[in-house]
Amino acid sequence: GHREKPFPVSQQTWRTQSVRKEVRRGRRVKAELNEFLRRELAEDGYSGVEVRVTPQNTEIIILATRTQSVLGEKGRRIRELTSVVQKRFNFPEGTVELYAEKVASRGLCAIAQCESLRYKLIGGLAVRRACYGVLRFIMESGAKGCEVVVSGKLRGQRAKSMKFVDGLMIHSGEPTNDYVETAVRHVLLRQGVLGIKVKIMLPCDPNGKLGPKKPLPDHVSIMEPKKEPKKDATGLDYAEKAAADKAAALSAPA
């Protein structure tokens, strides 16, 4: 019978498809890596992961508040983590490197504060007291605003949520992507599971270390006006005129 020829696929299309596939794989690796490190390094103040891919190797930077315990004794723990990551994602031997980096300010890191609150609640601290402690620490670290929500069976059998807010918080628009950090964690207590949500609004930082470089779009800074010299009707500067008059008086014959 008559068979139709397959639709010709250009080289460009193949290349685009392979790039897309590679990007998807990269995102999948990062998501799984983040989940694994979050469980493994929860007690070490794990705050996120960065993956940098170079032609020779893959660099994985672990952000944490306690970098020393991430590294372990004589770097043993980081070597173990490197080995696990390499085997799980089928990286060739010696092409993956793990580094631990200290978070610039843990008070402005939503993940670190969420974990901190989680451990306070596991330790049996009263919800209200624990939340106010975290709220105060975040604001003292220079945040523009923050919000802590704890929901679940706080007291008795009925579930409810408690919200603690301080400072300024934006909820919509493009700047929320740059300015608002959010973290959600679950804590298993005797009476059931509590959900913890921490939102932090970062300050604007021209250096880009503690927060975004670009200011909020509705932020208006008013410049100081320049002091302009006063002029008379002839357009002469008063100070210049006084100096000219003085010079004329001195040069005039007595």
Mean pLDDT by 10 residues, the chain (254 residues): 55 70 78 87 84 84 86 87 87 84 86 91 92 94 94 91 94 92 92 94 87 87 78 64 78 64
Residue 65: count of CB within 10 angstroms of its CB = 21
Residue 9 CB partners (closer than 8 Å, separation 6+): none
Give the per-residue pLDDT at 127: 92
Domains and CATH numbers, the chain: 12-103 (3.30.300.20), 107-201 (3.30.1140.32)
Question: Whose structure tokens read 């952000």?
Answer: 63
Q: What is the DSSP letter of 170?
A: -
Cα 120 to Cα 139: distance, rounded to the nearest angstrom: 18
Q: Note the Cα 82 to chain centre separation in Å.
A: 25
Please tell me the number of Cα atoms within 13 Å of 81 on its side-chain side.
Answer: 23
Contact 121, 192 (CB under 8 A): no
